[in-house]
């Protein structure tokens, strides 16, 4: 029996408020002319609220009454916002339902018992409250409506909570119900609910409203079923994890079922089968843009593609059995599946080695205890006799699935997927592919799912950009601005050397970032313009946006002094990017963090952490790599502090020298960062760690030249008392000068004494006596430089110098990346 009708299903997000219901009305009025059956869910959030109310009531918690009052008030307020008259029949109808709902909750609370049957009765009120409101609203808008209680149509068994539908009886009910009066423009009914032969209310499981709509569409052989929701259609991936996810214009029933099975929440997976049986198209589109094409799900899509979409499901555990020839014997697999079935455990994934030495099954983590107990009981004798190894359990896993009927005819899909994951450093724990070749299931660690989806999406869906190196600069202060300027001046020449474009695609300050895959070189003020700038609550948000850009040659540059940006830099390394930093924080945190940085090899560069653009770290690294052993390091490592103390040599007051250094940009905006000695402590710690010392920042002895109390309070307060604070330092300088000496802030390290920093009075024979201005100097005593230490000296402060070192590091990482590409190809 065929009716020239369409079925529309509106979910909770489409009915979440009066404003949303107004959009539903607008959609139906705009598309007037075709008869439609509209299936409604509860208002968004109501089903969850009813479950919570029921659970509280079953515990005897009087707080359930307040939650119920709130829910009732929400529905009344919605009627008010829809402009329903105080005497409108819908208000009295809803009041009757409110009274019955209160009575049911009171009974649950009194008995302190909530059976599956009572829960079904309770949650059914969500749809039963929504439908009268929508019906009254559409009627008020001038549409000719008819309303049917879905329980008169949907016949089920008595498996409360997830009732099985009697499709034959339901189809007969639906066809007879529609024929009884087909003079409507819009027939409205509830989703989700049904009724047993004994007249008891049941529910079809969460998402069951989709299934209701599918059953109705199939029964009347509708022209189509349209699901109106809060997303524009079925997407190629979850947009919360893959910002570039695209709307799928058309797909097959089988592809939709696979995606839904593996976590796509847009459609309740049992919805598909009744439509497939009758060849009825399913259209998924947004309520907020009902004219958009959305996704059309049909028997034969007009366009064949290899991979149609990606999906994922969390909460997976793997049980692995290993043991010689036993696993390969006939009947062994059946024995495993029977044991799990008897324990009520569903197998999600199966994979077996070709040697037949191991068998792995994937199950839901929630079933892990039951599944493991069932197998250990059934296989106890085999494990005891060592015919099988003890069952290995792996938890906190997820399945990432590639779905597409085109995989059946394509070669190299698995290889392409595995390469994409390898390039993004995602470890594959297990794989499986069904004989239909519509699905490749890949098991990964759950924390890796977002990166796995992004990597696969880039490989299969994103337009592949021209090969290039992409750079993101976090920090646009003094060093950052100089870096950008030097970048602009050297970019073309460097591209000619590399034979590859290198683009500055992102900039960030402490509150916002700008990102453009085409490069920001033409508009370096993007951060200061409202258009193009995006706010970010933390640097990791900006990093993730950078990471989401197509391309796998990315370098994250940290020109800040912030701990949170250092966190992002370490995360960038974990994501497979390069990390270049003038910020010393990352390299001076825990030894665990230091080892992680060093393990990244050429992807991590921090040459400017010590001595700005001076080749101090490079020189020290070369000595160590060629077998030299470092005995002692002595160094002046702060250009700003040395500038201040060399000014004292000329009779300038300490306070005036500090102000002058700040005016020339040698100190940080807050001069206390330079004068506390902690900046020098970080630098000497980095030198010591490079020599193999396992030290932390707390173990560096810092003997400051200002009292500790001077660093309390604000930067403004510190500068206000600078004259008084400087008197002691001026006296020390005068005393040193009287003895033919000069004050210098010197850092030292040796394996025997560890790290320390202190103000020292040096005589004319010392290598650092003649240091002037912003010069840094490092004296390295080693096996090879035993008689006369190696001294590296030069200017060590200023934004331009530091930026040049950072830029050199960026170009070094870019060269390495392109070399790696050449090796792999």
- C-alpha span between 402 and 441 (Å, rounded): 7
Alpha-carbon Rg for the chain, nearest whole angstrom, is 35
The fraction of the chain above a pLDDT of 70, given in percent, is 94
What is the overall mean pLDDT for the chain? 90
Segment (H or E) for 524: none
CB 403 within 8 A of CB 438: yes
- C-alpha span between 574 and 593 (Å, rounded): 12
Quick check: helix, strand or coil at residue 333?
helix
H helical segments located in 264-331: 272-278
- C-alpha span between 790 and 39 (Å, rounded): 82
What tokens were used for 606?
């921090």
More reliable by pLDDT, 305 or 619: 619
Active-site annotation holder among 683, 737, 741, 788: 683
Residue 360: left (phi > 0), alpha (psi -120 to 50), or beta? beta
Angle of CA points 568, 315, 56, to nearest 5°: 105
As a three-state string, the secondary structure of 225-270 is EEEEECCCCCECCCCCCCCCCCECCEEEHHHHHHHHHCCCCCCCHH
CB 430 within 8 A of CB 443: yes
- C-alpha span between 127 and 139 (Å, rounded): 18
- Per the DSSP assignment, residues forming a β-bridge with 533 are 514
Q: Is the pLDDT assigned to residue 641 strictly greater than 60?
A: yes
pLDDT of residue 298: 93
Sheet with 604-605, strands from edge to edge, namely 533-535, 512-515, 502-508, 469-474, 554-558, 578-581, 604-605
- C-alpha span between 527 and 533 (Å, rounded): 5
Q: Which residue has the tokens 């003649």?
A: 770
CB 446 within 8 A of CB 398: yes
Q: What is the pTM of this model?
A: 0.60
Residue 557: alpha-carbon gap to chain centroid = 21
Q: Is the pLDDT assigned to residue 21 strictly greater than 50?
A: yes
- C-alpha span between 547 and 235 (Å, rounded): 20
CB 809 within 8 A of CB 603: no
Q: Is the pLDDT assigned to residue 464 strictly greater than 70?
A: no
As a three-state string, the secondary structure of 675-719 is HCCHHHHHHHHHHHHHCCCCCCHHHCEEECCCCHHHHCCCHHHHH
Kindly tell me the burial class for residue 510, based on how many C-beta atoms sit within 10 Å of its own C-beta (0-12, 13-18, 19 or more): middle
> Which of 188-192, 438-442, 798-802 is predicted most confidently?
188-192
Q: Is the pLDDT assigned to residue 593 strictly greater than 80?
A: yes
Cα distance between the two ends of the chain: 61
User: Which range has the worst mean pLDDT, 290-294, 315-319, 387-391?
Assistant: 290-294
Hey, what's the torsion of the CAs at 665, 670, 676, 679, to 10 degrees?
Answer: -60
pLDDT of residue 465: 57
pLDDT of residue 822: 56
- Per residue in 331-346, pLDDT tens? 788 888 899 999 999 9
CB 284 within 8 A of CB 234: yes
**Residue 668 φ/ψ, nearest 5 degrees:** -70, 160
Q: How confident is the model at residue 529 (pLDDT cuts 50, 70, 90)?
A: very low
Q: Which residue has the tokens 């396992």?
A: 694
- C-alpha span between 719 and 545 (Å, rounded): 40
CB 143 within 8 A of CB 185: yes
Establish whether 683 is a catalytic residue.
Answer: yes
pLDDT of residue 652: 95
Kindly tell me the burial class for residue 504, based on how many C-beta atoms sit within 10 Å of its own C-beta (0-12, 13-18, 19 or more): buried
Mean pLDDT confidence for 368-395: 89
pLDDT of residue 531: 41
Q: Is the pLDDT assigned to residue 99 strictly greater than 70?
A: yes
């Amino acid at each position: 029996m065929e009716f020239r009708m369409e079925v529309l299903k509106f979910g909770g997000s489409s009915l979440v408020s009066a404003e949303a219901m107004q959009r539903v009305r607008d959609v139906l009025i705009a598309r007037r002319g075709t008869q439609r059956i509209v299936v409604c869910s509860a208002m968004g959030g109501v089903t969850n609220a009813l479950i919570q109310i029921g659970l509280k009531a079953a515990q005897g918690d009087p707080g359930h009454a307040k939650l119920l009052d709130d829910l009732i008030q929400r529905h009344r307020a919605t009627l008010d916002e829809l402009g329903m008259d105080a005497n409108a029949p819908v208000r009295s109808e809803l009041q009757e339902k409110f009274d019955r709902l209160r009575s049911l909750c009171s009974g649950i609370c009194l008995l302190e018992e909530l059976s599956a049957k009572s829960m079904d009765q309770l949650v059914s009120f969500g749809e039963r409250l929504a439908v009268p409101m929508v019906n009254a609203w559409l009627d008020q808008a001038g549409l000719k409506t008819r309303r049917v209680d879905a329980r008169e149509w949907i016949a089920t068994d008595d498996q409360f909570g997830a009732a099985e539908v009697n499709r034959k009886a339901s189809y007969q009910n639906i066809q007879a119900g529609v024929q009884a009066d087909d003079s409507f423009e819009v027939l409205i009914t509830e989703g989700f609910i049904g009724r047993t032969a004994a007249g008891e209310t049941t529910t079809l499981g969460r998402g069951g409203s989709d299934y209701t709509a599918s059953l109705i569409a199939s029964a009347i052989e509708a022209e189509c079923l349209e699901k109106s929701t809060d997303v524009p259609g079925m997407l190629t991936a979850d947009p919360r994890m893959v910002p570039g996810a695209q709307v799928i214009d058309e797909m097959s029933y089988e592809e939709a079922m696979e995606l839904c099975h593996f976590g796509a929440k847009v459609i309740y997976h049992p919805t598909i089968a009744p439509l497939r049986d009758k060849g009825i198209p399913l259209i998924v589109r947004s309520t907020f843009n009902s004219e958009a094409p959305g996704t059309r799900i049909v028997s034969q899509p007009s366009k064949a593609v290899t991979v149609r979409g990606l999906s994922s499901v969390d909460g997976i555990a793997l049980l692995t059995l290993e043991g010689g020839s036993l696993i390969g014997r006939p009947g062994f697999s059946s024995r495993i599946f029977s044991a799990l079935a008897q324990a009520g455990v569903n197998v999600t994934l199966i994979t077996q080695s070709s040697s037949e030495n191991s068998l792995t099954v994937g199950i839901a983590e929630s079933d892990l205890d039951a599944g493991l107990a069932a197998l250990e009981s059934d296989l106890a004798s085999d494990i005891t006799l060592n015919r099988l190894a003890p069952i290995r359990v792996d938890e906190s896993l997820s399945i990432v699935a590639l779905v597409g009927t085109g995989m059946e005819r394509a070669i190299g899909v698995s290889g392409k997927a595995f390469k994409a994951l390898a390039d993004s450093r995602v470890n594959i724990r297990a794989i499986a592919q069904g004989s239909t070749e519509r699905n490749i299931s890949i098991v990964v660690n759950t924390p890796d799912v977002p990166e796995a989806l992004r990597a696969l999406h880039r490989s299969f869906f994103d337009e592949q950009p021209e090969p290039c190196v992409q750079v993101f600069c976090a920090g646009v202060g003094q060093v950052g601005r100089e870096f950008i300027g030097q970048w602009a001046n050297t970019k073309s020449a460097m591209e000619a050397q590399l034979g590859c474009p290198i683009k500055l695609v992102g900039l960030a300050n402490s509150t916002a970032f700008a990102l453009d895959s085409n490069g920001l070189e033409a508009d370096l003020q993007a951060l200061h313009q409202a258009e193009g700038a995006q706010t970010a609550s933390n640097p990791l948000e900006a990093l993730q946006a950078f990471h989401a850009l197509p391309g796998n040659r990315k370098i994250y540059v940290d020109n800040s002094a912030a701990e949170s940006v250092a966190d992002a830099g370490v995360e960038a390394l974990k994501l497979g990017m390069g990390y270049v930093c003038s910020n010393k924080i990352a390299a001076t945190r825990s030894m665990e963090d230091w080892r992680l940085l060093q393990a990244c090899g050429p992807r991590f560069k921090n040459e400017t952490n010590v001595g700005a653009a001076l080749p101090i770290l490079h020189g020290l690294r070369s000595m160590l790599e060629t077998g030299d052993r470092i005995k002692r390091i002595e160094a002046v490592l702060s250009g700003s502090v040395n500038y201040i103390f060399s000014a004292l040599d000329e009779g300038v007051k300490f306070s005036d020298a500090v102000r002058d250094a700040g005016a020339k940009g040698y100190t940080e905006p807050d001069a206390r960062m330079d004068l506390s000695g902690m900046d020098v402590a970080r630098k000497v710690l980095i030198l010591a760690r490079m020599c193999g010392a396992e030290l932390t920042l707390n173990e560096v002895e810092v003997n400051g030249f200002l009292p500790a109390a001077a660093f309390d309070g604000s930067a403004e307060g510190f500068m206000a008392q600078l004259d008084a604070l400087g008197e002691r330092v001026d006296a020390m300088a005068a005393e040193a000068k009287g003895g033919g000496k000069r004050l210098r802030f010197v850092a030292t390290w040796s394996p025997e004494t560890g790290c320390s920093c202190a103000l020292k009075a040096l005589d004319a024979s010392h290598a650092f006596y003649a240091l002037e201005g912003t010069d840094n100097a490092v004296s390295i005593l080693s096996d090879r430089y035993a008689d006369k230490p190696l001294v590296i000296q030069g200017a060590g402060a200023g934004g331009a110098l530091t930026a040049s070192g950072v830029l050199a590091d960026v170009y070094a990482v870019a060269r390495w990346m392109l070399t790696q590409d050449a090796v792999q190809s």
